[in-house]
Chain A
Amino acid sequence: QQQVKQSPQSLIVQKGGISIINCAYENTAFDYFPWYQQFPGKGPALLIAIRPDVSEKKEGRFTISFNKSAKQFSLHIMDSQPGDSATYFCAAIHTGRRALTFGSGTRLQVQP
């Protein structure tokens, strides 16, 4: 059972544009929602994370929007740059259990 569904599978954005990646979860016990960025040949690296008691978190050009009632959250990358080209994974965790559940990933390509 896929507990975190991620879309789109791939995304092409022009430099300076906004990249939007969406995730939906099923398990209401999840209480922490991180996003990971992965470059080819590298391991996933934590980008930004949010807890369900807030609806939005912003760090630089990266923003997470969280809708608890809809069980959805999204990553927005403002002013997208070619260096942002990578695979992005949403994830969710129930901190009592400690195991991250990942989405299937979105391959982002930012064209110059």
Chain B
Amino acid sequence: GAGVSQSPRYKVTKRGQDVALRCDPISGHVSLYWYRQALGQGPEFLTYFNYEAQQDKSGLPNDRFSAERPEGSISTLTIQRTEQRDSAMYRCASSAGTAGNTIYFGEGSWLTVV
């Protein structure tokens, strides 16, 4: 695609429910990243993949958060048993190479837990 595509753009869920956020990176991009951005703050790193391999998940807040990229393209970030503190913008990004520093961000998925 032309850019990084994320869905849903907006998600309201009740506390305790599981949510899945989808990211479709720029076609051909090898690396895929997940960030979380609270209102008025900069993005905070969660995890990243090279191809289908999850290389670094040190930013995931706890074990309720997981991510996968089974075929090296589309990725899903899953939050289990959501809590109000999980409310934030979740941004996906991708880059062309495994060592490249130019990453391209999507427009994000805004999650509200009520």
Contact = CB atoms under 8 A, between A and B. Distances in A.
Contact of B42 (A43, A46, A97, A104): A104
Interface residues of B, number: 26
B67 to A, nearest CB: 14
Given A43-B4, A43-B91, A95-B99, A100 B45 contact: yes
Interface of B: 4, 31, 33, 35, 40-45, 48, 55-56, 58-59, 91, 93, 99, 101-108
Interface residues on A, range: 20 to 34
Nearest to A102: B42
Given A91-B42, A105-B40, A100 B105 contact: no
Contacts of B31: 98
22 contacts: A32-B101, A36-B105, A42-B107, A44-B91, A45-B104, A46-B103, A46-B104, A89-B42, A93-B101, A95-B101, A98-B33, A98-B55, A99-B58, A100-B43, A100-B45, A102-B43, A103-B42, A104-B40, A104-B41, A104-B42, A105-B40, A105-B42
A101 interface: yes
Interface of A: 4, 6, 32, 34, 36, 41-46, 49, 89, 91, 93, 95, 97-105
